[in-house]
Chain A
Amino acid sequence: MKRKLFAILLCIVILAAVVPGVLAASDLPRVVDDAALMSQSQRSALEEKAAQLRNEYEMDVVILTVDSLNGKRPQDYADDYYDENGYGCGDEYSGLLFLLAMEERDWYISTCGNAIYALTDYGIQQVGEAALPYLSSGEYYEAFTVFLDALPAYFTAYQNGAPLDGYADTSGDYYHGDQEDVVYYEEEVTPSLLLALMTGVIVAGIVVLIMRLCMNTKRLQSGASDYLKAGSFRIGRQQDLFLYSNVSKTRRPKGTDNGGGGGSSVHTSSSGRSHGGGGGKF
């Protein structure tokens, strides 16, 4: 009896611990079409794509369309919507939100967690502007499809430890979010046991080899300099003849820093989380 009760209690505890997380993460709608720009089937197609990205890259991708920002800046609106609705994968709340405001004709992408590094200022401009022509012509479903399809390249590069980065051109419409700081992706360097072990094996190998060599002192002499008659060594001929010379040239590799730009501009949202982002007009 007691055991049964205990088992049931345990089940409840486990469920209570696991279920809310699962529900909260997967139940939220990823396509919030408050401006009613798309049909139901289009919305669910985009939902599916977003779910795929979430599963594959652990990045929450949210599309939000609104009629009006009600006086808020696009950055604040996007950041707050993302934070307040509990989007994001993992402890870092990794993910991004594409905000489209019809009245202000603003588009804005807010990034959070790992997505800050996956989509740098440059990346945000690239994926945003890929969708721009469609946005301008009112083909919203196509615009979001292009946007979602552009993401995997950036996520993959990030996962491989080399996020796509470049110069974000802010001379036009595009602007990046508030810049409290600029962060660059740094490969997470944890003390490598393998490296340490390899050093250990090599050093120990050399030391033990030398110790072993010391055990055998019976070996042939090399040379006979001990028996060279003092002062008898004379260099008779010393001729250094220049023969020819050749020059080879190789093109210099382009430096990794392409003058200005690069990195992700980050700021702190009203919830206290760090966000990156950028946007423009359509």
Chain B
Amino acid sequence: MALEEQSRVLEYKCPCCNARLYFGGNTQKLTCEYCDNTFDLETVRAFNESANQQSVEEVSWDAPSAQEWAEEEQQSMRAFQCPACGGEIVTEETTAATFCPYCDNPTIMPSRLSGSVKPDAVLPFQTSKEDAKEAFLRLCKGKPLLPKFFTQEQRLEKITGMYVPFWLYDCDADFDGSYQATRIHRWSDSEYDYTKTDHFLLRRGAKAAFNGIPMDGSSKMDDAFMESIEPFDYSQLADFDTAYLTGYLADKYDVPSEQGEGRIRQRVNEALEDALQGSLLGYDTVVPTSRQLQVRHSKAKYVLMPVWMLNTNYRGKVYTFAMNGQTGRMTGTLPICPKRTAAWFAGICAGVTALSMLLQWLIL
């Protein structure tokens, strides 16, 4: 039955002690927390292939419980059974990898990652939870406007490693632009000052190809967050394998690739205009009058990108930070202390005023 197949969950078991395995960002291997063994992806995949056959049998009889959900809820919610403790794991429709809420066992829903929604590639985590913590403390350093006790008082509530669905767009772009430009000459004789303004019409056409402009395909993720942790190094992209996902959260995309194209056009347009700036030199004013951008051969690749999400609680307010799971680049919005802002403003203002008075004294 299709439903049974969809409710199947996947976990990677240690070939040695049968405990759950985690993918380690630092080691690029699957690690067992209990017997301390590490395994290559290939080894574990081969080992689990037979074991998985059984687990399908095990869960199939319990699957109909999902049918108790109302139609509507069934659309967005899905129930799976934890292969470790038998508890029911209820997930959103987009969740592809999660943890059992009862026993914390990492669980993967292969039905959310196969067929038409199978990612083309995955960029495995290269950083660990500890790296994320360190990056957060580094981000807080050297920030004079941060509330004094933020680093001590804040509680890191949650650090979540997450594979975020991304679209990587390849495209060719044709740009055609017209500009009104002027060149101004000034000279004077004994009677008059002269200003001569030469008017020009500039036309520029340019072609360019872009590779892998990223755009997150999850409606849950803040686009600004996902763009701020760019860039990712695509040379480390690996063929998709569910084994990379164990121990992390993963989502499948819910924003189709076509929807991101508007933003991609915008970025391509900005990039081409920047690149053309160099050819518009030698004029005193340049005002664009018309611009045409054609994006052709647009292709989107579906990949999973590693992102650490940090939630920290400071005086009852939650602050969220995101870290590129590959490069360790962390971004977010830190709280600003109004008192410190005022103090800095007053301090700098007083200092500059005093200095300015002193300079005036010296000069006059």
A residues near B (Cβ < 8 Å) are 189-193, 195-197, 199-201, 203-205, 207-208, 211-212, 214-229, 232-252
A28 to chain B, nearest CB (A): 37
Contacting pair A211 B344 (CB below 8 A):
yes
Lowest 4 CB-CB distances: which A-B pairs, in order? A200-B353, A237-B205, A191-B360, A196-B356
Q: Which of B206, B222, B272, B349 contacts A201, CB < 8 Å?
A: B349
Q: How far is the CB of A86 from chain B (nearest CB, A)?
A: 33
Q: Which residue of chain B has the shortest Cβ distance to A242 in the bound complex? A: B200
Which residues of B line the A interface, CB within 8 A?
139, 143-146, 176, 181, 188, 190-213, 222-225, 227-228, 230-231, 264, 267-268, 270-272, 274-276, 279, 322, 330-336, 341, 344-354, 356-357, 360-361, 364
Ordered by A's residue number, 7 sampled pairs between the chains whose C-beta atoms are within 8 Å are A211-B144, A212-B145, A224-B213, A238-B204, A240-B201, A242-B200, A249-B193
Complex Cα gap A208–B195 (Å): 41
**B197 with A246: CB separation less than 8 A:** yes
Name the distance in Å between A9's Cβ and chain B's nearest Cβ: 43
Inter-chain contacts of B190 with A (CB < 8 A): 252
* Cβ-closest chain A residue relative to B270: A223
User: CB distance A196 to B344 under 8 Å?
Assistant: no
Contact A191–B230 (Cβ < 8 Å): no
Residues of A within 8 A of B200 (CB): 240-243
- Distance between A93 CB and nearest chain B CB, rounded to angstroms: 25
B345 A204 Cβ-Cβ under 8 A: yes
Query: What are the residues of chain A within 8 A of B348 when measuring CB–CB?
Result: 200, 203-204, 207-208
**Given A191-B361, A196-B353, A232-B208: A221 in contact with B267 (beta carbons within 8 A):** yes
CB-based contact B201/A241 at 8 Å: yes
User: B207, A233: Cβ atoms under 8 Å?
Assistant: yes
With A233-B207, A235-B279, A236-B205: A247-B195 Cβ-Cβ less than 8 Å: yes
Report which residue of B231, B271, B272, B332 has the largest number of chain A beta carbons within 10 angstroms of its beta carbon: B271
Q: Which secondary structure characterizes the binding site on chain A?
A: mixed
Q: How far is the CA of A281 from the CA of B173 in the complex (A)?
A: 90
- Contact, CB under 8 Å: B203 / A239: yes
Contact A227 B333 (CB under 8 A): no
- Residue among A212, A239, A240, A251 with the most chain B CB within 10 A? A240
* A192 contact set on B, CB distance < 8 A: 360
Report yes or no: B196 in contact with A245, Cβ–Cβ below 8 A: yes
B199 A243 Cβ-Cβ under 8 A: yes
A202 CB, nearest partner CB in chain B, Å: 8
Q: How far, in angstroms, from A221 to B192 measured CA to CA in the complex?
A: 50
Q: A204 to B348, alpha carbons, bound, how many Å?
A: 5
A217 engages B209 (CB within 8 Å): no
Complex Cα distance, B344 from A248, in Å, reads 50
A31 CA / B36 CA spacing, docked (Å) = 115
Q: State how many angstroms separate the Cβ of B344 from the closest Cβ of chain A.
A: 6
Q: Contact at A217–B331, with CB atoms within 8 Å?
A: yes
The answer for the CA separation of A220 and B215 in the assembled complex, in Å, is 11
**Residues in A neighbouring B211, C-beta threshold 8 A:** 227, 229
Contact yes or no, B228 A245, CB < 8 A: no
The residues of A that contact B354 with a CB separation of less than 8 Å are 196
Bound: A215/B350 CA distance, A: 23
> Which of B200, B225, B350, B356 gathers the greatest number of chain A CB atoms within 10 Å?
B356
Q: Specify which chain B residues have a CB less than 8 angstroms from the CB of A233 in the assembled complex.
A: 206-208, 272, 275
Find chain B residues with CB under 8 A from A214 CB: 143
* A226 to B348 Cα, complex, angstroms: 37
